[in-house]
Structures are given as structure tokens and as C-alpha cells.
Structure 1
């Protein structure tokens, strides 16, 4: 259960439950926050707490103000000395991306740690509310969460009755990797009327070989890239004209930061994805 309101035990104290199910309590609103993933940084800014963020990791590039933040390493190799030097009163980590041993060390050093890892779209809204509580920016965070839920519901209603499109979504080229139905991107695919052809695999981000993709024969292939305008991963699939996606020119690029980060911008990427799958329907 979300502990949304601050606790009355001590004046100013506030407690929430993080995405790992742990209670995080602060004696007062956080004023010096270190964010350990690009997604966590975006969430904090969206929750109205951008002015409270004192450091982030590499590739935390949205919004524009985040690019000016001091860096404390990369999401998978944190610089512990730099984190401590910032004297944070809250650290926002990424459970499935940061090193578990480094997150445990942060906790062992007595730093308040909120573990962020939204698995479904509604948890993005919940994260905004929780982070707003911890930062004392509840009004802005709650308003943004409400806008996000409304926009998600509108998009879902718009595509509710569309014919299904069988989709392979690529998140990495070597080895080729995709997502299963437990990963948040698959919810975007579902909202758009898509069916993830590898959704039933056990791993959250399965590794694939070319033969398995040829056998699945998706109607559409969607990929990110190494940059916001790099669609080079799709070139590999143009070689296989036996693929339905290739034969019908249903090879689509979506800017990765708009759909692969669990932040409010995921609805921008979902809208683009929906438009691409609608194009695939027209190509039938």
C-alpha cells in the first residue's frame, strides 16, 4: 500500500513505499537529491523536484537543465566518493540497472535510498506522487501524475478496437535483445493494439538469434538505436525480404529515450509507436 501522506509522528517527517516495497522515511523534505539513472532524473524533474537534484549519472539529458548537473559515474558503475561528496539527503536508485552491491553500500552508509523501478505505466504516476512527497513538491507531482493517467487512458481508448499487429521490438543489436510481456515497453505495444511476438519468454530482456526472429515472422519490427536519430539497427532486417515486416516496409524507429525510459515521456513514444502500427495496418 502506498504511504502517500507524510507521517504525523514527527513534524515534517514523510514516508513512502518505494518500488522494492521498502519504506523510505525522511525527517524533512529532501533538498539534496542524487539520481542514479537518467529515468530517475526525469521523474524527479517531472515531480517538480528538479531544483533539489544536485547530481546525476551519465546520459541524464532530459530536461535540458539535467545536462548541467554534476556526474557521479554511470548507472552501472557509480562513483561512490562523488556521491558522498554531494552530501545527499536522498538517493534515488534504479533497481534493475544499478549494481545491487553498490545500492546496498549506499544504504549501509546510512544514506536514505529510494529504489525506483516502474514495471507498468501506472507505476510511473505512482512514482511521481511518491517522489513529490519526499521532496515536498506534492502539488506539482500530483498534478503531473493525474495528467499522465488521463493521457494514458485517452490513448488506450483511441486504439482499443484496432486490429492486432504482431510486433518484434528490438532494444539491442549485439546480441539481439527484446522485451517480454513483463517489461513496460510491452504495455505500450498492447495499448497500440500490438502483440509482442516474444512476450511469453521468461527473461525480462531475452537474447535472440536471427533464426528465432525469422521463425516468428513479425508483421512489424520496431527498434531504438544508439542515439535519438540512429535507425541503423533496422538495416540488418532489410536483408531478409522473407520477413513480412521487411516485405511490407514495416521497419520502424522510435526515439529510445521516449519509450525505453519509465518516465512521463513514455506516452510520447507510445503515441509514435501507435502511429507506426497504424501505418502497418494500412500496408496490409
Structure 2
């Protein structure tokens, strides 16, 4: 219970900037999850495969997607799906008591699970650090470790708050590229906007409608840093492409960086803190 009280206070601080008693009471009502304890989980959501390891409950995973990165040496968990499609025969053979889905999971997969009365839970893409924390706690309840999830979230919120205080002095402009063709960036409807905000930077793509951006807009807004988080060789090519535009402050000062796309795509409270530390190091040294 002490962890829960600390969480309420820290969570209120994060969202409101100060402790609100009314908000705390409402929050305590909203976050009264009913703990479950699933033992055989198929994860078709990469972020929550990772979250199971963070929670120390990877023993409950029996299968995941080809995109999931399991810690070295853990060959126990079989790969039965890509991001969009799953091997239905293998799911039936494994007899899971829970399948974890993402917002990208096909309707056909859900219809298959419904047909064979296999329990599933959908976790949609988070839009903020708050959403990341909420989903992580909800996932923890499914694994029977609500208190552990709460403890991790509480510690992560404290680390985020400390980093925000350290990053208050300088506010460089940043362009975060997360797609190349077309050029795509993080807007204020993505948790990456929180990452940029908490790093002390100004997100020049914040107001883009759905993330689409143009090279001309980048030139006009003239960012101090360009962060590229695209896949593999594409990122290296993108970095070389930006170097052509010597009028951009980020290029002039050699502030064009490649950021691990897996780290930014696969988020839980602990990995958010890790990415925030890395972004803060790039921006502030």
C-alpha cells in the first residue's frame, strides 16, 4: 500500500505539477485494478514482451513475434507471428490462457481468438508517458504483479521528474525524424513529444497534423538538433542527406544524430527513462 500512496503523489505531480487531493482520490478510484495471474501468455505486442522481462515475469511467456528481442540465450519462447499476422495453428497447439495484442493486430486474428474462446487483451499505441505508465500497470495486473508494476512506475516517474529539473535551463529546437518516405515526425499526439518536452527541448513538429512534415518546413523552423530514428541503413542515408543543408543550425553544429528506433518504438516506464537520459545527454552533454 505504501507504494500505491507514493505512486498517487508522484503521478499527481507529473500530471498537474502539484499534488491535488481531489485528483488523487479520483485517481485511486480509476486505478483499482483487479489482479489476475495468467501463466501461459502469447505476446503479439512487442512492447509487452519487453515489459514481461522488465517485470521479471518472462517465464509466463510461451510465444511472441519475430520483431521481439528476447535477452540473449532465451530460446524457450517461440516466434509465431510478425507484427500483423500470427500462426493460428501454433496458437491452438500452445493453448495460451491469454494473448496480448496491439492496435496493429488484424481483425482476422481477433475473430480467430473469439471463435476458439481464447482470452485476449489489446494494448493500443500510447500517446503519452502517462499512457505508458497506465498500460504497464494494467499489464502487471494480468501477470499477477500489480505491486511490482506500481513500484517500477513510481521509480520511473521520480527519475523523469529529476531529469526534467536538470533540463530546464536550455531549450534547443529539435526535429525528430521517425520516417523517411514520406518525411514523418513526432507530433503532440505521440509519447515522443513528451520525451522531447521532458528533455528540455522544443519539438518543431509538435503541431503537425498526423506527423507528416516537409524538408521546407524543417529549413524554415531551423532546428538546433536533428534526431533520426529510422530503420537500419535508411538512418545512415538520411543523415548524409541532411548534411546537404548547411544552412540548418543542426548541420552547421554537427548536431545530427541517429537514435536506436527499437528503443523509441518499444516503450515501458523504464525504457522511457533510459531514452530520456540518452536524449538529454545528446542535447545537454
CA distance in 1, matches of 2:63, 2:233: 23
Name the structure 2 match of 1:226. Answer: 231
Work out which of the residue numbers 154, 162, 184 in structure 1 matches 2:169. Answer: 162
Question: Is residue 106 of structure 1 aligned with residue 113 of structure 2?
Answer: yes
User: 1:61 offset after TM fit, Å?
Assistant: 0.6
Secondary structure of 1:77 counterpart: coil
- Flag the 1:238–1:94 CA change in 2: closer, same or farther, 3 A: same
CA distance in 1, matches of 2:172, 2:108: 41
CA distance in 1, matches of 2:74, 2:192: 24
Name the structure 2 match of 1:268. Answer: 274
Name the structure 2 match of 1:215. Answer: 220
User: 1:179-198 maps to which residues of 2 (within 5 A)?
Assistant: 179-198=186-205
How many residues are matched? 254
Name the structure 1 match of 2:207. Answer: 200
TM-score, normalising length: structure 2: 0.80
- After superposition, give the CA deviation of every residue in 1:234-280 in whole Å (9 maximum; x if it has no partner): 1110111122211121101222222232222121111111111225x
Higher percent of residues as helix: 2
Name the structure 1 match of 2:144. Answer: 136
CA distance in 1, matches of 2:135, 2:225: 32
User: 1:149 offset after TM fit, Å?
Assistant: 2.0
- After superposition, give the CA deviation of every residue in 1:108-137 in whole Å (9 maximum; x if it has no partner): 542222222332223333333222221123
Question: Is residue 51 of structure 1 aligned with residue 54 of structure 2?
Answer: no
Name the structure 1 match of 2:31. Answer: 2
When structure 1 is superposed on structure 2, of 82-91 and 100-109 the one drifting more is 100-109
Name the structure 2 match of 1:282. Answer: none
CA distance in 2, matches of 1:108, 1:126: 29
- Residues 56 and 70 of structure 1 are in contact (CA less than 8 Å); yes or no, is this contact kept in structure 2? yes
User: 1:57 offset after TM fit, Å?
Assistant: 0.4
- Flag the 1:276–1:148 CA change in 2: closer, same or farther, 3 A: same
When structure 1 is superposed on structure 2, of 32-41 and 131-140 the one drifting more is 131-140
- Flag the 1:258–1:77 CA change in 2: closer, same or farther, 3 A: same
User: 1:141 offset after TM fit, Å?
Assistant: 2.6
Name the structure 1 match of 2:248. Answer: 243
Secondary structure of 2:265 counterpart: coil
CA distance in 1, matches of 2:73, 2:33: 28
Name the structure 1 match of 2:18. Answer: none
Name the structure 2 match of 1:125. Answer: 133
Work out which of the residue numbers 81, 96, 99 in structure 2 matches 1:88. Answer: 96
User: 1:227 offset after TM fit, Å?
Assistant: 4.1
Question: Is residue 74 of structure 1 aligned with residue 82 of structure 2?
Answer: yes
- Residues 205 and 213 of structure 2 are in contact (CA less than 8 Å); yes or no, is this contact kept in structure 1? no
